Structure 1
Amino acid sequence: MLHIALLGKPNVGKSSLFNRLAKERIAITSDFSGTTRDVRTQQIDIDGRPCLLTDTGGLDESSALFGAVKTMSLSAAKKADIILYLVDGKNYPDEEDRKLFYSLVKLGKPTALVVNKADNDKDKERAWEFGSFGAEVLIPMSVSHNRGTSNLKKWLLTFLPALEEAPQIEEDEDEWDDFTEEEPEELLPEEPQDPTINIGIIGRVNVGKSSLLNALVGEERAVVSDVAGTTIDPVDESIMYNETIFNFVDTAGLRQRGRIEGIEHYALKRTQSVLERTDIALLVLDASQPFTELDERIASLVEKYELGCIIVLNKWDIAHADFKNSTEAVRDRFKFLAYAPIITVSALSKKRVAKIHDLILQVHENYARRIPTSKLNELVEEASIRHHLPSDQGKLVKIYFATQFDTCPPRIALVMNRPKAMHFSYKRYLMNRLRESFELEGTPIILIPRKRGEKDESSGA
């Protein structure tokens, strides 16, 4: 599958074009220079033809952080098959843009110079001044007004293999449709998709989430910096492990609500959006410092979204306490995650990081576990005999039977005569008995008391 990379200096509209081509608001956009800092890749289709599209951070060296962003962006260009270099058509051509464009042309890949923000005919005329760059393909466009988009698509389609029955190009309402090229070749049928586990990496700022992502995927995929809040957009990266696709998402580090600044408001919303489609959360804690109330609040998101969970004690090489005291502190502060396994790692040195892969497989197997109805009812009956349910104002409370109606996580209906009388402490007792009898480490268990014939609204069961 061909790979297209968007490059350019900050605030030229790369993320807006990314969203336009993806037909979805995926990348965060703002007037703030340097909003995109990591490399983000998404599979899209252009008029029915699949490809990979990568949005990169702005090419800027005004600080150490942006220097790291530039290095990662140029690395993405080297891996791409097609390069789109964007410039701001509201400005006059400058020497720095010219040099950056030349350096990309030297990579020997198809490279187009996209002059963005050409919002009207006058801007379009000015755009041709960028012809001094010597670009073989120059495409004026206005991403915000969707003008010139069809020209860009037509050029890209000359490289993207055609489907057996290629759909017609969706024409944009503009007057700049003047690019023509011969028909592209046929597309080979795609291989069937493998099972995927979606894994969200969460934690407060500067606990090492991006370093952990890089260590997990085996390459420098996310920008790592001492600057708090370096990651803004969620960063996706997939690897294949034991015939399973692991889709890791490094989310923005979260701060105390009163300290969230500017575009980090968007980052917080994106983090919550990521967790809605996540199976397992890697809760990253900084072992070099005592845990905080904010750590606890972030961990509560795991409970809110009913996720499988692995607690990762990062920076273990500089831990402030030994293993016994550290794990006791975790269990004391995060009682609601008592089911989550704990692993100690050093993301920077990659020590023990490889063990997380097998742990993810095991936790996901438990997260998707289905307990046979007969065994489930045997356990509930035995548990009820060992500890009777407390009465409800002197009236008998009885569980007729239990049935699991969903997985990911396991959801179990307890059909009772008085479901409202089920005390949370008795639910906790049943959960503990389930964990003792079945392999359920790393996954929450959802117990839902209800009357005979009552349907669960969330499941339809």
Structure 2
Amino acid sequence: MQVINSKDELKKIALVGQPNVGKSSLFNRIAKQRIAIVSDQAGTTRDVRKHEVEIFDKKALMLDTGGIDETNDAIFSTVKRKAVETAKEADIILFMVDGKKLPDDKDKELFYELQALGKKLALVVNKIDNDKEKERLWEFFEFGIKDENLFGISVSHNRGTKDLFDWIYNVLPELPESEVIINREILGDDDSEYAEGEYPLEDEIVEEEVDDNNIKVAIIGRVNVGKSSILNALIGQERSVVSPIAGTTIDPVDESFEYKDKNITFVDTAGLRRRGSIEGIEKFALMRTKEMLEKANLALVVLDASSELVDLDEKIAGLVDEYGLGTIIVLNKWDENMDTFQKIQETIRSKFKFLYYAPIIAVSAKTGRSIDKLKDKLIEIYENYSQRVSTSELNRIIEHALIRHALPSPNGAYLRIYYTTQFETKPPRIALIMNKPNLLHFSYKRYLINILREQLNFEGTPIHILTRKKGQREEDEETN
């Protein structure tokens, strides 16, 4: 798989339209993954979601904008502005409408505005589920669109999509002759149908080479602690819709930027509520948050310094521990808090004992206080998270630990560590090769972890210790 280092090199395709016309479903179809949350609830997508896609054998950057809805609601007003701004930046615009409804004056007005931009523009009429419904397409010629730029499709039934993909393919730049053309039928085939919400996925996931210059950071926390504001402050622009209304972010939003020779990709996950409060679409957001944690290297656990910590904060932080991520605890809204940092730090350490290795940084997304410090700490924690310690160094440290505190002899058994080696990074996983691995008590493994932390810089990262016999792949594991 060819890896494009910079998304700025790719042509951009913007999906624009009113809520609930099927933009996210088409986004998933093109991406060949279930990336966007699909729901009958209007306004599910509120931020601009980006994903690198392949149209047959040509790469592009797909931008799925929030549904444009003429309303006085502050959130949707912001969504409309960002959607139009995104369309202006794009090279190709797919303007999507609902084929079950008559042409809408709001649709026409916005379509004319986009048409004036002089970009490659297609009018995509979705929900044309059968041949009889194709007769309604003539009504959409009111937009003044050329016949070759009007597409009647049904994403849910996979009808008409191939013609649309062919059009996109033809307006994208030509490939160098060295590029290999893949099977065009992978994206769409009018003769095949899939159930609502189901899309053909790639049979195999091709893993890219590990690149230590790419850092994936998940931003998690309960609703309205300021995750989106922190994301905007870190990247230096308004990327996520920010609102005092709890739960504004539903889909995770990702954004990459360069910092100190590293490519940092942030995932601004949906705010988490108590399980009993998760209704409708927010249960999908909780599921998506866990999916993002599986892909991330680091996590920012965002807490609201202006309010008391609650049990839910501890449960959310427990997700980070569960997925073994490098971690920074971020106290947001510090400018609104009157307590001393030492006092609140003691409270956090008391509640989050399992994250004792995570640094705590107090920031203010509103004023920008300590945002640069947070960026620097991300780089440092990632270096710790991905470091590999030589076998000779590890054996020196463990031998020193054995002198300070000898191995126990459970029930008179003689335990011996032959040698120690690190066999994995992200997070660091270290094996103790022993004669009787099952008899080493977890408390002694934690002692060894503490010694490793004394001798090496593992701030912000969990350490996994496994005990094994010679020639044995895996026995027992302790993390701390």
Q: TM-score range by the shorter chain?
A: over 0.9
Within the candidate set 401, 411, 422, 1:393 is matched to 411
Work out whether 1:128 is the aligned partner of 2:128.
no
Q: 1:202–1:284: 8 Å Cα contact kept in structure 2?
A: yes
**Distance in 2 between residues matched to 1:354 and 1:107, nearest whole Å:** 37
User: Structure 1 residues 334 and 215 mapped into 2: Cα distance closer, same or farther (>3 Å)?
Assistant: same
Q: 2:44–2:250: 8 Å Cα contact kept in structure 1?
A: yes
Match of 1:278 in 2: 296
**Distance in 2 between residues matched to 1:254 and 1:455, nearest whole Å:** 37
Within the candidate set 89, 94, 98, 2:108 is matched to 98
| Structure 1 residue 166 displacement after superposition | 4.3
Q: What SS does the corresponding residue of 2:410 show, helix, strand or coil?
A: coil
Match of 2:435 in 1: 417
Work out whether 1:145 is the aligned partner of 2:157.
yes
- Within a 5 Å distance, the mapping from 1:417-436 to structure 2 comes to 417-436=435-454
| Structure 1 residue 326 displacement after superposition | 1.4
Q: What SS does the corresponding residue of 2:411 show, helix, strand or coil?
A: coil
| Structure 1 residue 167 displacement after superposition | 4.8
Match of 1:86 in 2: 96
Instruction: Write the letter of the residue equivalent to 1:267.
Output: A
| Structure 1 residue 270 displacement after superposition | 0.8
Within the candidate set 226, 240, 246, 1:228 is matched to 246
Match of 1:174 in 2: 190
Q: What SS does the corresponding residue of 2:13 show, helix, strand or coil?
A: strand
Match of 1:178 in 2: none
**Distance in 2 between residues matched to 1:291 and 1:73, nearest whole Å:** 36
Within the candidate set 74, 80, 85, 1:64 is matched to 74
Deviations 1:236-261 (A, max 9, x none): 10111122211111111111111111
| Structure 1 residue 96 displacement after superposition | 1.2
**Distance in 2 between residues matched to 1:350 and 1:260, nearest whole Å:** 32
Match of 1:9 in 2: 18
**Distance in 1 between residues matched to 2:211 and 2:439, nearest whole Å:** 46
Q: 2:467–2:474: 8 Å Cα contact kept in structure 1?
A: no
User: Structure 1 residues 30 and 457 mapped into 2: Cα distance closer, same or farther (>3 Å)?
Assistant: farther
**Distance in 1 between residues matched to 2:441 and 2:86, nearest whole Å:** 55
Aligned residues: 443
**Distance in 2 between residues matched to 1:331 and 1:38, nearest whole Å:** 34
Q: 1:82–1:111: 8 Å Cα contact kept in structure 2?
A: yes
Instruction: Write the letter of the residue equivalent to 1:17.
Output: L
Match of 2:45 in 1: 36
Instruction: Structure 1 unaligned segments of length 5 or more: list them.
Output: 176-191
User: Structure 1 residues 428 and 113 mapped into 2: Cα distance closer, same or farther (>3 Å)?
Assistant: same
Match of 2:61 in 1: 52
**Distance in 1 between residues matched to 2:379 and 2:446, nearest whole Å:** 26
Match of 1:107 in 2: 117
User: Structure 1 residues 5 and 399 mapped into 2: Cα distance closer, same or farther (>3 Å)?
Assistant: same
**Distance in 2 between residues matched to 1:452 and 1:117, nearest whole Å:** 62
Q: 2:466–2:475: 8 Å Cα contact kept in structure 1?
A: no
Work out whether 1:261 is the aligned partner of 2:279.
yes
**Distance in 1 between residues matched to 2:416 and 2:316, nearest whole Å:** 37
User: Structure 1 residues 193 and 328 mapped into 2: Cα distance closer, same or farther (>3 Å)?
Assistant: closer
Deviations 1:409-449 (A, max 9, x none): 11111122332232222222211111111111111110112
Instruction: Write the letter of the residue equivalent to 1:41.
Output: K
Within the candidate set 167, 190, 200, 1:155 is matched to 167
Q: What SS does the corresponding residue of 1:393 show, helix, strand or coil?
A: helix
TM-score (norm 1): 0.92
**Distance in 1 between residues matched to 2:151 and 2:39, nearest whole Å:** 23
Work out whether 1:438 is the aligned partner of 2:448.
no
Within the candidate set 352, 360, 369, 1:334 is matched to 352
Work out whether 1:364 is the aligned partner of 2:373.
no
| Structure 1 residue 172 displacement after superposition | 4.4
CA RMSD of superposed structures (Å): 1.9
Q: What SS does the corresponding residue of 1:343 show, helix, strand or coil?
A: strand
Instruction: Write the letter of the residue equivalent to 1:430.
Output: L
Instruction: Write the letter of the residue equivalent to 1:162.
Output: E
Deviations 1:63-99 (A, max 9, x none): 2222222222222112111111100000011211111
User: Structure 1 residues 375 and 217 mapped into 2: Cα distance closer, same or farther (>3 Å)?
Assistant: same
| Structure 1 residue 389 displacement after superposition | 2.6
Moved over 3 A (4+): 165-169, 171-175
Q: What SS does the corresponding residue of 1:247 show, helix, strand or coil?
A: strand
